[in-house]
A and B are shown apart, each in its own frame.
Chain A
């Protein structure tokens, strides 16, 4: 297993992808944040694949881009604002609930990240 992971990490393609992502760090992160907000405001159904997929992706980006927990907490602040505004206008509707779940997951992620820093 370790050998396989080692080979994947060492592979040229992965290095290319990593380099590409590093070059377009801001765009990549913006896309990810955008995906979260699209999920909150425009997608009616809730999918674990999407949630954990994005979280996993964010975890990878944290590793690649060396993102600090502070950034994660800033994202949480934005999610909190989104949840609260939604709550004021629509009550505990689907978008409000989705924002709340994203907020909790990223807050948890941020705390672990902060502990590891």
Chain B
């Protein structure tokens, strides 16, 4: 390896640049500091295994009302991060390593791709002009806004900055050599970074790979003039489907489930409102063709350096050369992606772009300048590399050095934030100089541990309460984390950190907060299963440091004293306190556990005015609170749904009282997708509510096996409901126990309170015994188990195949 590197000057330069780029991120953060926030958070760097257990194994989101979502695509990636964490024991080091991968990986694979394209153009040996052009192109890519500007608040898919060139390079090498080991490497990388190849976050995948594969096939056909490599295509596709079955199949299985997120995403263009097109029309003006040509960085819009690469490209086109099919092909893809990323190229172009939104699934590209930026930058850099090499091949060596140093110098100066660490050391948007980078507060860690130990499954309401749904937590270094909830993603407990999480009550809550109507706020919390309020008195997360964002909309007090006053008005006693963090418990009389039987059903007609996300509860939420002595076990049922289970006579009434006086239920959480319930004395029809987001995949299964462990966690309504200690298995030990059972009451499975699951059960539906055992299971989880099995077998075969491939390589 070392011999190979020192054999050529250009290799030494490339190697040194690569090392430099890899170690640069180690200077960005001090030990103990972490950059974890953002829309998709990076809590997996802090504690990958807790994140895996809380979030990635079961198909119910541990946040808010617990919607069904298949997040298993995180599993290999989280295990990969956990591997590094076990080696270095420091989240900072792991963050640095992954940032190093991004910079060094971007550079080296772009360099190798450009070099590979030259190999066909000019032959095996690279000239100085080509080496310089390839290095310049690769640096241009590494310091482009797609890589640099997205490093802060990086989404998990941001790894595409080096994954895209890496996979592309392996496939290109396969086309030129027909060696299947490159396909094997590419597949291995897709498996480890499965987050980038998931249907749950599809835009990065669908923006790059279809275009890249078409490019490679055309390159193979027109430039390499080789037959279609069917063997590689078939082997690659089969292994890809097998290795990724564990996340692809579960998500694909819900593509035709009306109401599922994925169905909406694919078919929204055919729905009554094409939200993708509307969104596109609204933001189209923000895309600027000039900015996509000059590629300015976010904080350095005006810089002389912007012109250097475009000018070199133009000079390349001006240099006389023979016809190049590669250049023509790259140019076609450059123009195509430029059109996709900028949209605003002539009115005809804009109209054509609008038509694209009628293609099912194209709506995912509604933030087009964000989604297409990586593939555009990729082809822009290929064009730059090829074109600049033509220019360099026509000038004297001393001028090649001059232009190269000049261009690299300009790019380095422009991207100085990469060298001084300002790339991640930024201030929170809308804040008064509050840093994004945090050191974890040990008291908050203790609070997380305390919450983990709570034996009941009551949900947590956060104070301060944010707009959108962000969790806001201060560090010990005056930095603040703003991102998805740490409690849900590290502990696995459902919570409500902000407006988005309390859907469908979001607008109701805003109204109640405005009116300071505490009794009704308590009632709303009861219907959301809120048992605890986590109050954070740290001033740095208050409106003093965040005057607008993220507190401007909901109106919930965000200063420590006002927030405490608010908490006192909606909660009972304080149960825990450490540092800035206190946990308050609500009045137990008002608390509705995860499963309850309804005593009063209220019927309502949906008001079309409130038939939208976040305000659906406005159709039914009462103007006055329930009488304090009344049983809070209530449910609100839309009259349209009511007609499915009750007679017209009952549905025409305002409410219906069910006699549940003697009924007793006992429930136990096995895991987030499975509950055991014992129902006693069910002599009359009753409505059983499960406070999880409605999904037809939640099913009831009658069973004869009694609950094994009966340690009581808590008891409610004078023993009417008993909650047993959760088993909380990391992996379900009996995943297929309901497989041969017939589900019951599917036809009376309805949505109540505009989000929760409920089953209307007649005594005749039960076995007739005094005591009935039921399993409530989200059966979609089974698809994951089956496909996980396929993936495990595929992985085994894949590894054996790899061993065979490399053994053959060694022999030859």
Task: Provide the B315-354 mask, 1 if CB < 8 A to any CB of A, else 0.
Answer: 1011010010001100100010010000011111000000
- The distance in angstroms between the C-alpha atoms of A83 and B294, with both chains bound, is 10
Contact with A along B266-304 (1 / 0, CB 8 A): 000000000000000000000011110110000001100
- In the complex, whether A54 has a CB less than 8 A from a CB of chain B is no
- Closest CB-CB distance, A50 to chain B, in whole Å? 10
**CB <8 Å contact, A80 and B345:** no
Q: How far is the CB of B410 from chain A (nearest CB, A)?
A: 13
Q: Tell me if B294 and A84 are in contact (CB < 8 A).
A: yes
Interface centre among A69, A70, A100 (most CB of B within 10 A): A100
**Inter-subunit contact B314/A83 (CB<8 Å):** no
Count how many chain A residues have C-beta atoms less than 8 Å from C-beta atoms of the other chain: 32
A87–B290 CB distance below 8 A: yes
Residues on the A chain within 8 Å of B314, using CB: 73, 76-77, 80
Q: Give chain B residues whose Cβ lies under 8 Å from the Cβ of A105.
A: 345-346
B310: CB under 8 A from chain A?
A: yes
For chain B, the count of residues having a C-beta within 8 Å of the partner chain is: 28
* Residues of A with C-beta under 8 A to B306: 84, 87
A73 adjacent to B318 (CB under 8 Å): yes
In the complex formed, the residue of B with least CB distance to A79 is B314
Q: How far is the CA of A39 from the CA of B301 in the complex (A)?
A: 25
Shortest Cβ distance from A96 into B: residue: B290
Q: How far is the CB of A36 from chain B (nearest CB, A)?
A: 14
| A 76-114 binary contact with B (CB < 8 Å = 1; else 0) | 110010011011100110001101110111011011001
Are B288 and A48 within 8 A (Cβ)? no
Say if the beta carbon of A29 comes within 8 Å of chain B.
Answer: no
Q: Do A97 and B347 touch across chains, with their CB atoms under 8 A apart? A: no
Q: Which of B294, B328, B338, B346 contacts A87 (CB 8 A)?
A: B294
Q: How many A-B residue pairs have CB under 8 A?
A: 79
CB distance from B243 to the nearest CB of A (A): 40
Chain B, range 550-595, C-beta contacts under 8 Å to A: none
Q: Could you tell me the distance between the alpha carbons of A73 and B363 in the complex, rounded to whole angstroms? A: 36
For residue A115, CB closer than 8 A to chain B, the reply is: yes
Q: Do B302 and A100 have beta carbons less than 8 Å apart? A: no
**Minimum C-beta distance from A96 to chain B (A):** 5
CB of A104 within 8 A of CB of B347, answer: no
Query: What is the CB-to-nearest-CB distance from A107 to chain B, in angstroms, rounded to a whole number?
Result: 8
Residue numbers of B with Cβ under 8 A of A are: 288-291, 293-294, 301-302, 306-307, 310-311, 314-315, 317-318, 320, 323, 327-328, 331, 335, 338, 344-348
User: What are 20 sample pairs from A and B whose C-beta atoms fall under 8 A apart?
Assistant: A48-B346, A48-B348, A52-B348, A76-B317, A80-B293, A80-B307, A83-B290, A83-B294, A84-B294, A84-B310, A87-B294, A91-B301, A92-B290, A92-B291, A97-B288, A97-B344, A100-B293, A104-B293, A104-B345, A108-B335
Binding site for B on A (CB under 8 A): 46, 48, 51-52, 69-70, 73-74, 76-77, 80, 83-84, 86-88, 91-92, 96-97, 99-101, 103-105, 107-108, 110-111, 114-115
Please give 5 more A-B residue pairs, beta carbons under 8 A apart, in addition to A99-B290, A101-B346.
A51-B346, A52-B346, A88-B302, A111-B327, A114-B323
